[in-house]
Amino acid sequence: MFGIEFVPDDSVLKIGYMAKLAEDAGFQNIWITDHYNNRDVWTTLAVLSLMTNKIRLGTGVTNPYTRNAAITASSIASINELSGGRAILGIGPGDKATFDKMGIEWDKPLSRVKEAVLAIRAFLAREHIGAQGPKMLELAGSIADGVLINASHPDDFKFAVPVIRQGAEKAGRKPEDVQVCAYASFSANKDQAKAVNASKIVVAFIVAGSPENVLQRHGISMDEARMISDALAKYDFKSAMEAVTPRMTEVFSVSGNPQDCRARVDELLKTGVTQVVVGSPIGPNKESAIKLIGKQVIGR
């Protein structure tokens, strides 16, 4: 199964056009990010509900800090009605750095997500959780229908999948009932170099925001990550991209020609991943990349 992420930084009608393109290309899920500095996630999903016919639509992901659980439940239920039952709720603790900018205290993320999911459950038939840390992964396994994991490398899922399964088993659930989604930074183009170059700015942000244990897992030093983080803090995106190494691109993205991308997808599926989400940047040109992925990655 394949999903695709759209960051609503374009007009909603343009996102709707690309959503229809993705549906026609064979994607089964669309995930819309929820950030204060982009267009509203619920407005975007509402438009997509009317511009698509069968593809499933979800938040990728919202959070319990900026949105009250009752409002989130009402919103996703409205999208579900508007789309004819195609809505999925993705919810997670969000990004501390974003909340700091908004003046919101990022307190007790595990408890806040658990409380929100339990509060919303009465309104919904399905829940997905966006997770990364081991405790959050275990929680997802115990209470959610699926997990959205912001990762692109098989080693991250070899770590995550057993933790999710452990959470499911502790809760008396069947581990196979919990879907595992690789929410990957994806960049496809017939020209491998162009694909890799397009992914670098996204990879830079991922490296800067990755915890030390994840960097260590992939042999990336804190000094390398700090160099990128410092450049991004100064809005020096050129230097940040130049500091992205081939190893970082290989670890934190699925980038290259369609054959390279499909090979990585196959590796991810072998770890227990049930859905690969094609996340930003998708490719140097989103529209041509969606068509290319549909024919030569999903089609295979």
Confidence of residue 122 (pLDDT cuts 50, 70, 90): low
CA distance 107 to 91: 16
Q: For domain 2-191+255-298, which CATH number applies: 3.40.50.10360, 3.10.105.10, 3.20.20.30, 3.40.50.460?
A: 3.20.20.30
Q: Other CB atoms closer than 10 Å to residue 229's CB: what's the count?
A: 18
Q: Is residue 43 predicted with pLDDT exceeding 70?
A: yes
pLDDT digits (tens, 9 = 90+) for 65-114: 999 999 999 999 999 999 999 999 999 999 888 888 899 999 999 999 99
Q: Quick one: which of 109, 151, 186, 97 has its CA closest to 272?
A: 151
- Amino acid identity at 219: G
Give the C-alpha separation, 106 to 97, whole Å.
9
The number of beta carbons lying within 10 Å of the beta carbon of residue 177 is 10
The amino acid sitting at 106 is W
- Strand, coil or helix: what is 225? helix
Given pLDDT bands bounded at 50, 70 and 90, which one contains residue 125? low
- pLDDT, tens digit (0-9, with 9 covering 90-100), for 185-225: 999 999 999 999 999 999 999 999 998 999 999 999 999 99
Q: What is the pLDDT of residue 85?
A: 96
Taking the C-alpha atoms of residue 33 and residue 71, their distance in angstroms, rounded to an integer, is 17
Whole-structure pTM value:
0.89
What's the rounded Cα separation, in Å, for the pair 205 and 19?
Answer: 25
Q: Which two tokens stand for residue 231?
A: 């450049």
Q: Which residues have CB under 8 Å from 57's CB, separation 6+?
A: 29, 30, 32, 45, 48, 49, 79, 83, 86, 87, 88
Opening angle at CA 1, ends 38 and 208, nearest 5: 45
How many residues would you count in the chain? Answer: 300
pLDDT of residue 124 exceeding 70, the answer is no
- In this predicted structure, what is the pLDDT of residue 121? 86
How confident is the model over 144-170, as a mean pLDDT?
96
Give pLDDT tens digits for 234-257. Answer: 999 999 999 999 999 999 999 999
Question: What gap in Å lies between CA 108 and CA 261, rounded to an integer?
Answer: 37
How far, in Å, CA of 261 to CA of 254, rounded? 6
Alpha helical stretches, state H, 52-175: 69-83, 96-102, 109-121, 134-143, 154-170
Mind listing the pLDDT tens digit for each residue in 261-297? 999 999 999 999 999 999 999 999 999 999 999 999 9
Sort strands 2-6 and 275-282 into parallel, antiparallel or unpaired.
parallel
What are the boundaries of each domain within the chain?
2-191+255-298
User: Rounded to whole angstroms, how far apart are CA atoms 287 and 200?
Assistant: 19
Per-residue pLDDT at 133:
85
The whole-number pLDDT of residue 199 equals 98
